Amino acid sequence: MRRLGTAAAVLVLAGAGVAGTAGVAGAATGPVGKAAPATTCSTAWGSGTKSATDANATPLKNVRTSQSTCYDRMVFDIGGTGKAGYHVGYVDAFHQDGSGEKIPVKGGAILQVFVSAPSHDPETGKQTYAATAGKPLPGVNLAGYRTFKDTKFGASFEGQSQIGLGVRAKLPFRVQQSGHELIVDVAHTW
């Protein structure tokens, strides 16, 4: 009888341990089907200057921005086919290409973007992207962005357009091309 009582006690204690562990596991993960997604943001892009020498005489059509969990994004719509040349890097101050005039850009750091696409049609001279030197980019609203703080159009000079992008701090960024778009992503953190 003693063995049966001991065996019953062991089973009861084991059951209590399993029930207690299940409760802790459920508390740690939350309800079934409601688990929080794991977000891993790569910051291996670095903050050094990035360039490509490919040339594209197709004019700049639009610049737009968006937000992601890991970064803020600026997209240059260059239209046409082929790759576009670019030169993207951090600068201490933003100076208009051609004149050298200083253009103030808000933020903890300034990312200067040159894209080999003028803001006008090279053959007709007709403006294709309605930006004004020293002014914010048309149609771009950065309210609520985590990393982007300001934009300024520098110039369209000698076949390229120049943009000043004010960011929260000197953070990692990447430049990539997809079809007719040049994409600049700036990470939220290191």
Cα separation, 11 vs 8, whole angstroms: 5
Q: Is 104 left (phi over 0), alpha (psi -120 to 50) or beta?
A: beta
Whole-structure pTM value = 0.79
Q: pLDDT tens digits for 51-96? A: 998 766 689 999 999 999 999 999 999 977 778 899 999 999 999 9
CB contact set of 148 (below 8 Å; sequence gap of 6+): 65, 72, 74, 142, 165, 166, 167, 168, 186
Q: pLDDT tens digits for 95-129? A: 999 999 999 999 999 999 999 999 999 889 999 99
